[in-house]
Amino acid sequence: MKLSLSSLAILAVMFGSSLAAVAPPVDKLVTLNVANKQLAPDGFMRNTVVANGAYPNPPIAAIKGQNLVVTINNQLTDTDMRVSTSLNLDGVFTTAANAYNEGSPFVTTCPVAPGKSYTYTHALGEQAGTFWYHSDLGVQYVDGFRGPLIIYDLQDPHASLYDIDDLSTIIQFGDWWHNASLPMLAGYQATGVVPVCDTGTVNGVGRFNGGPEVPWSVVNVVAGKRYRMRLINESARNVFTISIDNHHLTVIEADGVATEPLTVDVLQMLAGQRYSVVLTADQPVANYWINAPFTGGSPARNPNQNATLSRGILRYQGAPAADPTTPMTSGPTDGVVFVEANLRPLVPETPPQPDLTLSLDLTVVDGKAIWNVNNVSYVAPKDPTLLKVLAGPVDATTFDVTENTFILPANKTVQIEFPPTDDDDAHPFHLHGNNFWLIKSMTSPDNNEVNPIRRDTAGVGGTGTTIRFRTDNPGPWFFHCHIYWHRAAGLATVMLQDPDGSRAAVQPTQAWQDLCPIYNALPAEQQ
């Protein structure tokens, strides 16, 4: 097997400096010890929920075609936050036979109880790109259980565009909260006012008004080199607007799908979205601001919040270990702004015409923490959707109305239309189990049925959004808003693809079957 220099670099990142083991092992083994730990990402000390003692959680690096085997050991004890947990690999397409390992509580599984362990196994297949992992139980990842997942492609079609792509080129953006998630959720449920974060973090570091001057996160580069920067919005609410002073960003991937190169100066990212961009270190040796201002609720509701302090530093080798000498800004005012509708797939693909069309109308009950999809607010059932599918043939009467489950026939093309709204707010809707063709982005009034981008998270609102996907992966797949406060308030559905095919494919392990009885036997404060 002949490998490019970039492919060898990827192997070196994953398996150490020795290049003797050219072929990666079939299984990539990862252990995540999920525990409470006192941390201060922005200088404010609080108890957190993190894996292996760090925020953001440790990067998981795998290679296309591997089996990713992740064992989580639940060591949580602090009941101001959830002490059960569950792991979701955001954007990874769990196969029908493996749906029980998908990690969506009460859709495909039950949570892992405190003091227990569970191993999730995923065959990564042909997927490659930028992903992330997080707890999918309630709003638990607000407390810190989130981290990057990169699936490298040793034959990346974009490899000629960059020189360096390793763990140092991952840039994670997140919202950070000084209060624990359960008290904040209770406040939201009582008032209908979504919590507003204290801080925006870049690679786990941030500052807030009046707080200590925590050293900025630094991304190091060498003049003349080209870098594949993997950008991940790991927030539970915030929209980040990304730019790097004096540098262009060339988008080459969106949510794990390779795109035609698109060069911009400013890139907006909704919660859950990921992009790869190529940055050429072609400026004078110096320090440059990585600008990451955010929006996510009125800052008047939280005096700690200062979006200008959401930033990091791009540092050239040879530059002093100091802040940039230029002012902190929100980014260029006259540059090229990214428009999602302008993205095109690297491999052109014309989506099939729809066999059936659904219209999903999103509404909120004024003054309450209740969001509806077609007048239904999703409430998680006690028994996971998958468990009901495995019990026998299902129809609409199998599920409570509040489960908001759409039963879809096998191997059809489904179109989902989100009507225009009166405002420009974007709900980042995320589909598990599949990605979708983005027929109409909310960033454009036009439909694209010739060569739309495929992705798994897109904004819904404004001028309306239309997506299309194939029901070729049997299973119950969550389809929800990635603003997790909204998801907790019911802004979610289940797209149940081919339930008969799912039941025929799934043969769950005893360990999976034990999860629900163990969880259901817990007292409420342990769930």
Is residue 188 within 8 Å of 195, Cβ to Cβ? yes
| Two tokens, residue 191 | 């008032």
Q: Could you tell me the maximum CA-CA distance found in the chain, to the nearest angstrom?
A: 67
Q: How far apart are CA 455 and CA 359, in angstroms?
A: 19
Q: How far apart are CA 177 and CA 210, in angstroms?
A: 15
What is the CATH code of the structural domain delimited by 356-521? Answer: 2.60.40.420
Helical residues (DSSP H) of 83-219, grouped into ranges: 181-191
CATH architecture of 27-152: Sandwich (2.60)
3-state helix, strand, coil in the chain (%, to 5): 15, 35, 50
Q: Report phi then psi at 375, rounded to 5.
A: 70, 15
- How many Cα atoms are found within 13 Å in the side-chain-facing hemisphere of 134? 26
Residue 321, SS3? coil
Is 0.85 surpassed by the pTM of this model? Answer: yes
pLDDT at 230: 98
First to last CA, the chain: 49
Q: Report phi then psi at 342, rounded to 5.
A: -85, -10
DSSP letter at 143? Answer: G
User: pLDDT tens digit string along 161-220?
Assistant: 999 999 999 999 999 999 999 999 999 999 999 999 999 999 999 999 999 999 999 999
What residues in the chain have per-residue pLDDT under 70?
A: 1-22, 423-424
DSSP bridge partners of 119: 71
Enumerate the domain spans of the chain. Answer: 27-152, 170-342, 356-521
User: pLDDT tens digit string along 323-375?
Assistant: 999 999 999 999 999 999 999 999 999 999 999 999 999 999 999 999 999 99
Q: How far apart are CA 353 and CA 351, in angstroms?
A: 7
Q: Does domain 170-342 have CATH number 2.60.40.420?
A: yes
Q: How far apart are CA 108 and CA 104, in angstroms?
A: 5
Q: Are strands 267-269 and 356-359 parallel, antiparallel or unpaired?
A: unpaired
pLDDT at 434: 94
Task: Show Cβ contacts of residue 526 under 8 Å, excluding neighbours closer than 6 positions.
Answer: 79, 83, 84, 113, 114
